Structure 1
Amino acid sequence: MSIKAVVFDIGNVLIEWQPERFYDSVIGEERRRAMFAAVDLHAMNDKVDLGHHFTDTIYAAAEEYPDWHSEIRMWHDRWIEMASPVIDHSVRLMGALQAKGIPVFSLTNFGIQSYDFAATHYPFLRAFDRDFISGHMAVIKPAAQIYEMLEEASGMGGADLIFTDDRADNIAAADARGWRTHLFEGPQGWADRLVDEGLLDRAEAA
C-alpha cells in the first residue's frame, strides 16, 4: 500500500520547543529548576493545548503562584522565544513533499490562540494541506481519539499515513493504529526516511 499523506508534529520537528532552555537563559538553571518543581507548567500548557484560552490560562496560573508571577507570565509574553528557532531542513522537506503533490498534514498539540500567534511569525504553519490542531479538537496526543479524528476527517488510515513526532509515546499511539512512523531525532534522519519510502529523492530531501 502506498503512502497517501505525510503527517508532521510541529514542536521539536518543525520548530524547536524547549521551555527549560529558554528559562535557563533568562533566570538561570537553578531558579528554573525551583520554579518547575513548584509549578506544573507543562500541565498548564496541556490546558492550552486542549483548547483553554492561552492568555487566561497562563495569567491565572501566574496569579495562583505569586512567588513566580512574572516568570510564569513569560510563558505567554515571551512565548515566541520559547517556540524557536525554526528547524529549516524540516520545513524544506514539507515544501518538497507538497511540490510533488504529496499531501502534508499537521498533527500537533498546540493551543488555538498560540497557534494563530505562531503563524504570524512562521507562515509555513498556514501551508499544511490539512490541519489537526489539538486546541480545536479538544484532545491531545497520545490519546487514541486524536488519531481517530484525523483518520475520520481525512478518510485515510494505517499504512496510508507516515507520521513523525519527537515523542516516543506519540509514536507508539500511531504504531498501534498501523500508521507508518518515524521517531524524529533530527531532520536528516527524517529526510533519509522519506527517501527510503520513495517519497523524495536525495536532491529533493537536501
Structure 2
Amino acid sequence: MNIVFDFGGVLFRWHPPSLLARVWPHRVADAAQGEALAAEFFENYAGAWGAFDQGLIDAPTVIERISARTGWPPEEVAQVVAAVPDELQLQPGTVALIEGLKQAGHRLFFLSNMPAPLADHLERSHPLHQWFEQGVFSGRVQVVKPGVEIFELACRQFGVEPESCLFLDDHPVNIAAAQALGWQTLLFRSAEQASQELRARGLLSAAPQSVRQ
C-alpha cells in the first residue's frame, strides 16, 4: 500500500488556539477566545495564510495583510508567525506508527499544505528522507489541498495510482477531496486511533509500542 501522510495535526503538532494562547496571553483569556482568534487569524487557511501556504506570498506579506485586515499590530502578528516553527513539534506516536508501517513493507509519502520557509525548517530539523520516499509541500508547487491539482500532482510525482493510496489527514474537507478522486482515506484523530484502524484494515500487524495503552 502507498500510505500518504499529512503533516500539521498528524506528524507535527498543530493547534492554533494553543499557539495563540502561548504567544498572545494578553488576548486569549480562555479556550473559546483562542478558537475565535485562531479562526480570525488563519481564516480557515484561506485569505492571506492560504496564499502563504500556496507559496504565493512571503512571510512579511502575510504579516502585512493579516495586520491590515484585523487591525492587530504588525509586530504582534509577526510574533505569531515567528512562533509557528516551535508549534510544529514532532509527535512521537505518529513516528512509531510510521516505523510500524515501514516494517510492514508499505511505501510512505507525504502531502502537506506548508509554506516553503516552514517546509525548509522541517527538512532541516527532522529525517524526513528516512521516513518517506517522497513528498509534496504546497508552498513549493503552488497548489494546495483540497484542490484536485495537488492530489493529481502527488500521484504523478510518486508514480502511483489514486486507488493504491491511503491518505491520512486530520481535516475532513481534505479527506473528502481525496475520496472523490478515488483515494482510500483515514481521518486522523490520534496516533492510537489511526493505529487501531490500520490494524483493522490488515495494514499493521501490531500496535507500535509508543501508542499502546
TM-score scaled by length of structure 2: 0.82
Q: C-alpha deviations, 1:157-180, integer Å up to 9, x for none?
A: 233111110000000011111211
**How many Å separate the matches in 2 of 1:131 and 1:83?**
17
Q: Residue 50 of structure 1 contacts residue 139 of structure 1 at CA under 8 Å; is this kept in 2?
A: yes
Instruction: Tell me which moved more, 131-140 or 69-78.
Output: 69-78
* 2:10–2:169 contact (8 Å) kept in structure 1: yes
Aligned-partner Cα distance in 2 for 1:137–1:118: 17
Q: Corresponding residue for 1:55? A: 59
Structure 1: distance between partners of 2:40 and 2:203: 46
Using the TM superposition, give the Cα deviation of residue 204 of structure 1 relative to its aligned residue in structure 2, in angstroms.
Answer: 4.3
Using the aligned pairs only, state the percent identity. 26
Equivalent position of 2:82 in the other structure: 77
Q: CA deviation at 1:7?
A: 0.5
Kindly state the Cα deviation for residue 143 of structure 1 after the two structures are TM-superposed.
Answer: 0.6
Is the contact made by 1:8 and 1:105 (CA closer than 8 Å) also made in structure 2?
A: yes
> Cα offset for 1:109?
0.3
1:10, distance to aligned residue in structure 2 (A): 0.5
Report the equivalent of 1:112. Answer: 116
1:180 aligns with 2:177: no
Residue 131 of structure 1: SS of its match in structure 2?
strand
Residue 121 of structure 2 corresponds to residue 124 of structure 1: no
Which residue type is aligned with residue 124 of structure 1? P
Are 2:9 and 1:12 aligned? yes
Alignment equivalent of 2:163, drawn from 141, 159, 163: 159
SS in 1 for 2:73: helix
Aligned CA distance change for structure 1 residues 23 and 34 (closer, same or farther; 3 Å): same
Listed one character per residue, the Cα deviations across residues 18-57 of structure 1 (whole Å, up to 9, x for unaligned) are 1221111332325867865765564322112101354333
Q: Which amino acid counterpart does residue 133 of structure 2 have in structure 1?
A: D
User: Which sits farther off after the overlay, 188-197 or 62-71?
Assistant: 62-71
Alignment partner of 2:120: what SS? helix
Q: Which residue of 4, 21, 25 corresponds with 1:24?
A: 21
- Find 2:100's aligned residue among 75, 96, 103: 96
The Cα RMSD (Å) is: 2.5
- Shift of the 6–24 alpha-carbon distance from structure 1 to 2, 3 Å rule, reads same
Quick one: structure 1 residues 38 and 89, their matched pair in 2 at CA, closer, same or farther if it must change by over 3 Å? Answer: closer
Higher mean C-alpha displacement, 38-47 vs 108-117: 38-47
TM-score (norm 1): 0.84
Deviation larger for 111-120 or 31-40: 31-40
Please list every run of 5 or more consecutive structure 1 residues that lacks an aligned counterpart in the other structure: none
The structure 1 segments of at least 4 consecutive aligned residues displaced by more than 6 Å after TM superposition are none
